[in-house]
Amino acid sequence: MNSHGVSVSFLFPVMKTLVHRGYDWNAFCEYAAIDTSLLLNTEARIPAEDFERIVKAAALYTEDEWFGLHQGQGMSISDLGVLGYVMLHSKTLGQALAAYQQYNFIICSGFNADLEVEGEDILISMVLHNSSKAPSRHCIEDMTVSFYRMMLGLSCRAIPVKDVHFMHSPPSRTDEYIAAFGWVPQFNQKSNTLRLGKEILDYPVLSADPRLLGIFEAIAEEVRTKLTQGTVLTEELNRWIIECMPTHFPTLQEAARYMRMSVRTLQAKLKKENTAYNRMANEVRKELALRYLDKPEYTIAEIAYLLHFSEPSALQSAFRKWMGVTPGEYRQRAAVASR
């Protein structure tokens, strides 16, 4: 399980899209159970599953079957924050794409793009790391189109698309894709890929400024280091907590014994990593609750038992604090959003 998730700044493009279409952002936040206080903290992050849920909710709210595709078409390089500025001042598109791979972790630890040279072409694969679930159609189409738009904007040159593959099934109409890619993608494929000519790797980025590149690379590296420091400890603890959950909800004292250190030492190490044991354990509980709620065969009472709450009402209370809605309301909204 990856605990870094998605930067809250990724919600701003969603906000921009909705507001430009005349929707009230606060009303949508209430509809999609978004904690608006998160937007006041630029360093806040949300689970990737929450972000996907919000994007699917936006598609339902706007009644736009191609919401992800349309949002990707409106993407701006500034939406990527410091990563965008590193790309903006890279010398070539190849270097900009390498920067994206290196620093995409800053904005989203789950999604990234893998590049592979195949003859005279490059295949750019949109991938979702550390998950057994395929990414939602709206998120993957948003990512693919915005990635392509970035390259057009950085080079200011025509970049013909040779092929597009999507793993998901096609929507009711496919003509909307022509405006985005120049033709209709192939659906129900084994991967999500964009095929382009490899010569684009040498296209110069017209706005490149070597001095500014150094400045923004230093900032990006600082943020990346801050996010990744100490992940060996937290990831090992996360795995251990998940392993314990089928039988019991592990305590801090048990965690310290497992890590072969005193309670005080474990607390101090976690504090240096800007977290705490209770926060981590409850984050695991929350993630498991979300996954169980995606499975209709489990009742809410059964989920409370599986997560070792004293009673269903305790799960209700905890889940409302996590998500702003009850488990039943979350399950109902998720079911509607998936239609």
Q: How far is CA 125 from CA 78, 83, 233, in A?
A: 22, 19, 30
Q: Does residue 236 share a domain with residue 197?
A: no
- Examine the domain organization and report whether 29 and 154 are in the same domain: yes
Residue 302 neighbours by CB distance under 10 Å: 12
The pair of structure tokens assigned to 28 is 């949508």
Same domain, 242 and 95: no
pLDDT at 108 over 90: no
Domain C-terminal end among 210, 226, 242: 226
Q: Domain range spanning residue 29?
A: 6-226
Q: What's the pLDDT at 254?
A: 94
pLDDT in tens, 132-183: 466 789 999 999 999 999 999 999 999 999 999 999 999 999 999 999 999 9
* 186 in the same domain as 165: yes
Q: Where a domain ends, among 226, 257, 288?
A: 226
What integer best gives the mean pLDDT of the chain? 88
Q: Do 56 and 201 sit in the same domain of this protein?
A: yes
CATH number at residue 18: 3.90.1520.10
Same domain, 211 and 288: no
Q: Is residue 29 part of a domain?
A: yes
**Do residues 190 and 253 share a domain?**
no
Q: Is residue 34 part of a domain?
A: yes
Higher per-residue pLDDT: 337 or 250: 250
Domains: count for the chain: 2
- Strand bridging mode 121-128 / 193-197: antiparallel
Q: Residues 191, 283: one domain?
A: no
User: Is the separation of the CB atoms in 36 and 12 below 8 Å?
Assistant: no
The domain boundary residue, chosen from 226, 254, 270 = 226
Whether 246 is covered by a domain: the verdict is yes
Which residues have CB under 8 Å from 253's CB, separation 6+?
A: 263
Residues 104 and 204 in one domain: yes
Residues 294 and 326 placed together within one structural domain of the fold: yes
pLDDT digits (tens, 9 = 90+) for 174-219: 999 999 999 999 999 999 999 999 999 999 999 999 988 988 888 8
1 located within any domain: no
36-84 confidence digits (pLDDT tens) = 888 877 777 888 888 889 999 999 999 999 999 999 998 888 888 888 9
> What per-residue confidence (pLDDT) applies to 2?
40
Structure tokens at 321: 């604090």
Burial of 71 (0-12, 13-18, 19+ CB in 10 A): buried
Q: Is residue 305 part of a domain?
A: yes
Q: What CATH number does the domain containing 246 carry?
A: 1.10.10.60
The alpha carbon of residue 72 and the mean position of all alpha carbons in its chain are separated, in whole angstroms, by 14
In a shared domain, residues 62 and 191 = yes
Same domain, yes or no: 166 and 260: no
Q: What is the pLDDT of residue 337?
A: 66
Answer whether residue 241 shows pLDDT above 80. Answer: yes
* Residue of 135, 83, 77, 75 lying closest to 105 (CA atoms): 83
Question: Could you tell me if 194 and 123 are in contact, meaning their C-beta atoms sit under 8 angstroms apart?
Answer: yes
At 231 the pLDDT is 63
Most confident of 165-174, 222-231, 269-278: 165-174
**Structural domain includes residue 49:** yes
pLDDT for res 130: 47
pLDDT at position 264, please? 92
Residue 263 belongs to a domain: yes
